[in-house]
Amino acid sequence: MNTFDPNYQSKNIEGKIVVALERISKAFRVLLWQEGKANALTPLQLQLLLFLKFHSPHKCKVNYLAKEFNVTKATISETVRLLSKKAYIFKETDPIDTRSYSIYLTDKGKQIVTKTSSFAGAIEKPIHTFTESQKEVLFQSLLELIEKLNKAGIITVQRMCFSCRFYQSDEKQDYCRLLQKPLRTNDIRIDCPEHETAV
């Protein structure tokens, strides 16, 4: 099996799907890089600013961010130092554990996030042209793939329903015990603010 061999791909749809995902991932990285460059930010700096905007303070700490972005704590600390120098973020020490701190956006940081956050729109736009059932099948397949990659230890951080302690499932339906409502495919969250990892 060699996913990148066109002969293998011609006989295996699985190989074609992996290469298709790689193309989309490349497009995402190019858009991210272009947006960062236009605003004098590295891709990681831009991703970190976007993450800070949309996630709670307990996730905006060096340890969590290192896992989220699959980099070392030293890389995150250096990124935080550079973003502080540019006055996009500030740190607030945890009153209980003074060695730890949460990171927040400054007003200037919020402005740059507003300016840059639509860079992935070029990928979302064509998806809007899909039918509802096409979108549902695609989303369902991606959810299953992410769940399997998580179980294999390839995707580390997850905030999706399948790994949440409030998630419940039987043959009939999926259910969120926190929101107290059934979850249709379209309701399954991939980055849920209320997610708590099941133990």
Which residues contribute to the site for ligand SF4 (CB under 6 A)?
Answer: 161, 164, 166-167, 176, 178-179, 189, 192, 194-195
Handedness of CA 81, 82, 83, 85 (dihedral sign): positive
Comparison of 139 and 166: residue with beta carbon closer to ligand SF4: 166
Is the separation of the CB atoms in 41 and 49 below 8 Å?
yes
Comparison of 80 and 164: residue with beta carbon closer to ligand SF4: 164
Shortest spacing between CB 133 and ligand SF4, in angstroms: 23
Distances in whole angstroms, Cα of residue 188 to Cα of each of 129, 161, 182: 21, 6, 10
Comparison of 113 and 160: residue with beta carbon closer to ligand SF4: 160
Comparison of 93 and 169: residue with beta carbon closer to ligand SF4: 169
Amino acid at 3: T
Shortest spacing between CB 143 and ligand SF4, in angstroms: 11
Shortest spacing between CB 194 and ligand SF4, in angstroms: 4
